[in-house]
Amino acid sequence: MAFQTQGSNLRALLVEDIKVNRMILSQMLRKFQVETTVVQNGKEAVELFLGGETFDIVLTDNLMPIMTGPEAISKIRAMGATDVMIVGVSVDANSMEEFKDAGADLCVPKLKLEILEHILQETRSKKNKSSA
Amino acid sequence: MDYSNLRRQAASMKKSLFDQGYLDEQFCQVEDLQDEASPNFVEEVVTLFFKDSGRLMSNIEQALEKYPRDFNRWDTYMQQLKGSCSSIGASRMKNECMSFRDSCGQGNVEGCMRSFQKVKREHAVLRQKLESYFQLLRQAGPAGAATRPVM
């Protein structure tokens, strides 16, 4: 199940199984006027990419039912989606390596507004460079 | 009605939640997300937390009974609850969740059972305290919206 929120400019995919986390992270992205699609596990994320959806940034949890974040990232990268910024979000120290090995650009233990702002700025720069 | 007194009471109540370790800095992060477009965001998140955590705890309780010594299953459920606690700054609950997960890692059934009882207790206490806090905030009116406590 995926739903979209209003926004402009950057398009984000949020992959998170915990409802409270989805609500908080969606609100964070809304603060930065990011157009956000939300899914509940890695499989739903992969299906969006298979369906031809494109995103500027993917923010994903690690451990989720059906398909984990790293598994989804591997499949998304294997599809040729190499430009999309992918950020793993997990407090688990072991997750960092899993995310990086799978092809994530970044891994953060916790998303705070200041950290998200910096990541989004980086994503915007990357997007502007590739469209120049 | 003395609204400024109610606001002072709410601020004091919130400070004590932090001082007693029920809440941590992450709760402030949630408060920072509240704005004019989402004026009740904090209470909505907390309401969702208690609804979802109730469900997760029920899953854990059933798993403890139906799947004896299935530490992987127990840990997976508790990992979700812990994540939820961490996101809203429910510090004491989060710590008890971590104790439960440690017991799972050690294969300690009694430890898991003890920790789970503590998780349930902390859940009930936090729920009661936050319900009182939000009730006070509502009485204090819009100007009583969340502000950072003096720590």
> For residue B148, is it within any domain?
no
Please say if the pLDDT value at position B146 is more than 70: no
* Type of residue found at B5: N
Tell me the pLDDT band of B96, cut-offs 50, 70 and 90.
very high
Q: Which of A14, A19, A32 to mutate to test the interface with B (most CBs of B within 10 A)?
A: A19
- Total domains present in chain B: 1
B87 part of a folded domain: yes
Give yes or no for residue A123 having a pLDDT over 70. Answer: yes
**What is the reported pLDDT for A132?**
67
Contact at CB, B41 and A31, closer than 8 angstroms:
no
> Which residue of chain A comes nearest to B32, CA vs CA?
A113
Please name the fold of domain A3-131: Rossmann fold (3.40.50)
Instruction: Record the pTM.
Output: 0.89
- B45–A23: do the CB atoms touch at under 8 Å? yes
Which among A20, A61, A110 has CB closest to B49? Answer: A20
Q: Is A9 within 8 Å of A35 (Cβ atoms)? A: yes
Structural domain includes residue B145 = no
Of A19, A24, A110, the CB nearest to B33: A24
Per-residue pLDDT reduced to its tens digit, A50-98 = 999 999 999 999 989 899 999 999 999 999 999 999 999 987 777 889 9
Closest-approach residue (CA) in chain B for A17: B80
End-to-end CA distance of chain A: 34
ipTM above 0.90, yes or no: no
In chain B, residues with a C-beta closer than 8 Å to the C-beta of A16 are: none
Q: Is A24 on the interface with B (CB under 8 A)?
A: yes
Asked, for residue B146, whether it belongs to a domain, the answer is no
Which of A19, A28, A113 is facing B52, going by the closest CB pair? A19
What residue segments make up the domains of chain A, in order of their start?
Answer: 3-131
Which domain covers residue B55, as residue numbers? 1-138
Calculate the average pLDDT of chain B.
92
Q: What is the CATH number of the domain that holds B17?
A: 1.20.120.160
Question: Do the chains contact at B84 and A21, CB–CB below 8 Å?
Answer: yes
Distance from CA of B140 to the nearest CA of A (A): 25
**Residue predicted with more confidence, B65 or A126:** B65
